[in-house]
């Protein structure tokens, strides 16, 4: 199920390698995650759940849901969507938890030193927000370290093959994948980006616990910018855990980053921008999209995206939802149903569709654990995606020197994520190196750009959210 031809993307695959999964040899390419390689080999069931032993595939593909955990080279509970396949690796599927393996040699735990690294600005997350923060803070002389838990930098951008809207300043007409590369190319020697390096804890006085080369390392920073993005929402319906039910972002990752098709035919739930764009991308990659369901009476996505899909003959069914998924050990189909004005299912309107993939695109939730550990004041603002840290115009949270940017601060878009990251980076470097006319001018420009971006009718929800946030600041 590897994609060989694609209208936009060219997949440059690495060296061919082989590893073993449950005793069977698996062909893979260097640079591919274990989960992706297994998918390409047609293996969708990666584990069985702890309590009921139900089959589980992967859902998020970016390390947030834990449904892809397998035993890898004796190490239990490895999230295989985040670990690259290696020659001769031994991978075992888990039923429930993995096994406590034997360790080869006993280390000297009496004298074990934990490495400490100092930096001026620590940035968590190498998505558009984090990278922009690094770009601008480093430009004005700050030493930055960017920690990214996934194997690639760019965050959600690396999977976005469509062209962006907006003004030139916001990278309009550029494809998401290229924006990411642009940001990375712009980084100077003041920035160090570490991939496969999750930040797992925040401690007082800006100490971060990170896992580097599978070991704990301590980072001491003067400023911390948290740009951890968001995780996809789940929808509750019977059998929503069957292998073959994915988040839209996961499908994108599989398809656009790894060049692997998630399935042959699919049902998309949610007709917001993401749902509609991903459905179109699936179509481009050769997947048969049966329908896009939307519970609301109207389509949330921009008109252009929706029309593109319709022109290809894909129905977008408003006032429809999924009632259940079915299948023996994997998705074989779904029952869909029409809704009335009160969101109630209309009896008799149920019908089955035969699909091997169900894709959920029902919203995102900011990833906020680090703010809670840091003791940031939080506020629940539905317009901005739910619970978020309270912050000022300079993106600083209630904890001095701790910043937020991007989807972690409000579910918006890459353009605003980049501006917010830029603002956080500028404010942090200003506080470190002193106020300069140049930085002040930059900050004003960013503020104006954000206002401009949020000015139109599509920005209304965000503006309402921002107003609530301002209230919360008082």
Partner 1 sequence: MNKNYDVIIIGGGVIGTSTGYYLSKSGMKVLLLEKDYLTAGSTGRCITGVRQQFSTPATIRTAMSAVKLFENMKDELGVDVEWTNSGYMFMAHDEAKVEAFKKNIEIQRKFGLDVSFITASEAKALVPHLDTDQLLGVAWCPSDGQASPFKVVLGYARGIRDNGGSIITRQEVTDIIVEDGHVKGVTTAAGVTYHSSRVINCAGPWAREVGLMAGIDLQVEPERHEALITDGVQYENMPMLVDYRADGGYFVQRVTGQFIGCFTPEVQVPGKDKSSTLEFMKEMSRRMCKIVPALENVAILRQWAGSYCMTPDGSPIVDETPVKGLYCSVGMSGHGFMLGPALGKFLAEYIVDGTWPFDMSEFAYGRKFGDKEAMA
Ligand X SMILES: Cc1cc2nc3c(=O)[nH]c(=O)nc-3n(C[C@H](O)[C@H](O)[C@H](O)COP(=O)(O)OP(=O)(O)OC[C@H]3O[C@@H](n4cnc5c(N)ncnc54)[C@H](O)[C@@H]3O)c2cc1C
Round to whole Å and give the CA distance between 264 and 378.
43
Residue 74 is a binding residue for partner 1 (CB under 8 A): yes
**Measured CA distances, 93 to 18, 47, 75 (Å):** 17, 5, 12
Residue 79 is a binding residue for ligand FES (CB under 6 A): yes
Residue 122 is a binding residue for ligand X (CB under 6 A): no
Binding partner selected for residue 58 from partner 1, ligand FES, ligand X, none, CB under the kind-specific 5 to 8 Å limit: ligand FES
Out of 112, 168, 311, 474, the residue judged to bind partner 1 by CB under 8 A: 112
How many CB atoms neighbour CB 77 within 10 A?
14
Round to whole Å and give the CA distance between 284 and 262.
13
Residue 213 is a binding residue for partner 1 (CB under 8 A): no
- Read off the tokens for 403: 């910043």
Name the residue nearer to ligand X (CB basis): 70 or 81.
81
- Least separation in angstroms between CB 297 and ligand FES: 32
Terminal alpha carbon distance of the chain: 54
Binding partner selected for residue 157 from ligand FES, ligand X, partner 1, none, CB under the kind-specific 5 to 8 Å limit: ligand X
Binding track over 22-51 against partner 1, x by CB under 8 A: ----------------------------x-
Round to whole Å and give the CA distance between 39 and 150.
18
Name the residue nearer to ligand FES (CB basis): 259 or 401.
259
In three-state secondary structure terms, 75 is strand
439 and 430 Cβ atoms separated by less than 8 Å? yes
Residue 366 is a binding residue for ligand X (CB under 6 A): no
Residue 410 is a binding residue for ligand X (CB under 6 A): no
Binding partner selected for residue 130 from partner 1, ligand X, ligand FES, none, CB under the kind-specific 5 to 8 Å limit: ligand X
Question: Looking at residue 342, what DSSP letter applies?
Answer: T
Tokens 């003067």 correspond to: 222
Residue 394 is a binding residue for partner 1 (CB under 8 A): no
Binding partner selected for residue 59 from partner 1, ligand X, ligand FES, none, CB under the kind-specific 5 to 8 Å limit: ligand FES
Round to whole Å and give the CA distance between 261 and 256.
9
Residues in the interface with partner 1 (CB under 8 A) total 27
Round to whole Å and give the CA distance between 399 and 394.
13
* DSSP secondary structure string for all residues of 284-339: HTT-EEEEEEESSSS--S-HHHHHHHHHTT--EEETEEEEEEE-SSS--EEEEEEB
Name the residue nearer to partner 1 (CB basis): 208 or 309.
208
165 and 213 Cβ atoms separated by less than 8 Å? no
Out of 9, 68, 72, 187, the residue judged to bind ligand FES by CB under 6 A: 68
Q: Which candidate, 146, 150, 99, places its Cα nearest to that of 124?
A: 146
Out of 28, 36, 37, 62, the residue judged to bind ligand X by CB under 6 A: 62
Residue 21 is a binding residue for ligand FES (CB under 6 A): no
238 and 377 Cβ atoms separated by less than 8 Å? no
Q: What are phi and psi of 464, to 5 degrees?
A: -60, -45
Residue 367 is a binding residue for ligand X (CB under 6 A): yes
Stretch that binds ligand X, among 25-33, 43-51, 408-416, 432-440 (CB under 6 A): 408-416
Residue 63 is a binding residue for partner 1 (CB under 8 A): no
Residue 81 is a binding residue for ligand FES (CB under 6 A): yes
471 Cβ partners below 8 Å, 6+ apart?
A: none
Residue 371 is a binding residue for ligand X (CB under 6 A): no
- Least separation in angstroms between CB 306 and partner 1: 42
Residue 96 is a binding residue for partner 1 (CB under 8 A): yes
Q: Which residues in the 254-313 window bind ligand X by CB under 6 A?
A: 273-274, 277-278
Round to whole Å and give the CA distance between 444 and 2.
47
Name the residue nearer to ligand X (CB basis): 57 or 229.
229
Tokens 């978020």 correspond to: 388
Question: Looking at residue 114, what DSSP letter applies?
Answer: P
Residue 63 is a binding residue for ligand FES (CB under 6 A): yes
Element (H, E) at 34: helix 34-40
Residue 38 is a binding residue for ligand FES (CB under 6 A): no
Q: Which residues in the 217-236 window bind ligand X by CB under 6 A?
A: 227-230
Binding partner selected for residue 75 from ligand X, ligand FES, partner 1, none, CB under the kind-specific 5 to 8 Å limit: partner 1
122 and 208 Cβ atoms separated by less than 8 Å? yes
362 Cβ partners below 8 Å, 6+ apart?
A: 232, 233, 234, 235, 269, 270
Q: Which residues form the interface with partner 1 (CB under 8 A)?
A: 50, 74-77, 96-103, 106-107, 109-110, 112, 114, 200-201, 203-204, 207, 209, 216, 218
Q: Which residues form the interface with ligand FES (CB under 6 A)?
A: 58-61, 63-68, 79, 81
Q: Which residues form the interface with ligand X (CB under 6 A)?
A: 62, 124-130, 147-150, 155-157, 160, 164, 198-199, 227-230, 248-249, 252, 273-274, 277-278, 367, 406-408, 412-415, 417
């Amino acid at each position: 199920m590897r994609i060989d031809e694609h209208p936009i993307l060219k997949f440059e695959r690495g060296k061919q390698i082989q590893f073993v999964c449950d005793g069977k040899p698996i062909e893979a390419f260097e640079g591919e995650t274990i989960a992706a390689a297994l998918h390409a080999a047609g293996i969708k069931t990666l584990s069985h759940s702890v309590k009921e032993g139900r089959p589980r595939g992967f859902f998020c593909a970016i390390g947030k849901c834990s449904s892809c955990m397998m035993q890898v080279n004796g190490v239990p509970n490895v999230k295989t969507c985040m670990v690259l396949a290696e020659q001769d690796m031994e991978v075992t599927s888990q039923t429930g938890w993995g096994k406590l393996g034997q360790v080869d040699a006993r280390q000297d735990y009496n004298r074990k030193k934990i490495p400490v690294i100092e930096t001026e600005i620590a940035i968590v997350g190498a998505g558009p927000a984090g990278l922009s923060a690094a770009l601008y803070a480093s430009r004005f002389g700050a030493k930055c370290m960017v920690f990214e838990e996934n194997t690639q930098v760019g965050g959600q951008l690396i999977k976005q093959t469509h062209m962006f809207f907006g003004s030139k300043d916001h990278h309009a007409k550029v494809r998401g994948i290229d924006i990411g590369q642009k940001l990375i190319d712009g980084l100077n020697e003041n920035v160090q980006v570490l991939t496969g390096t999750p930040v797992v804890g925040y401690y007082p006085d800006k100490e971060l616990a990170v896992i580097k080369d599978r070991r704990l390392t301590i980072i001491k920073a003067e400023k911390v910018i948290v740009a951890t993005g968001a995780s996809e929402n789940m929808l509750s319906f019977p059998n929503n855990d069957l292998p073959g039910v994915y988040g839209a972002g996961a499908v994108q990752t599989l398809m656009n980053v790894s060049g692997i098709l998630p399935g042959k035919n699919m049902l998309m739930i949610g007709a917001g921008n993401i749902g509609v764009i991903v459905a179109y991308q699936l179509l481009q990659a050769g997947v048969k999209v049966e329908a896009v369901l939307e519970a609301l009476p109207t389509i949330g996505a921009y008109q252009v995206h929706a029309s593109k899909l319709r022109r290809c003959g894909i129905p977008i069914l408003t006032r429809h939802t999924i009632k259940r998924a079915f299948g023996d050990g994997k998705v074989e189909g779904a029952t869909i149903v029409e809704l009335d004005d009160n969101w109630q299912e209309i009896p008799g309107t149920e019908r089955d569709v035969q699909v091997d993939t169900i894709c959920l695109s029902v919203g995102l939730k900011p990833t906020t654990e680090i703010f809670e550990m840091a003791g940031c004041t939080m506020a629940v603002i539905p317009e901005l995606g739910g619970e978020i840290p309270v912050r000022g115009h300079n993106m600083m949270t209630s904890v001095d020197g701790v910043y937020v940017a991007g989807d972690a601060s409000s579910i918006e878009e890459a353009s605003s994520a980049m501006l917010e990251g830029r603002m956080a980076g500028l404010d942090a470097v200003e506080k470190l190196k002193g106020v300069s006319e140049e930085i002040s001018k930059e900050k004003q420009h960013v503020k104006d750009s954000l206002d401009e971006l949020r000015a139109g009718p599509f920005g209304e929800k965000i503006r309402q959210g921002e107003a609530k946030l301002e209230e919360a600041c008082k």
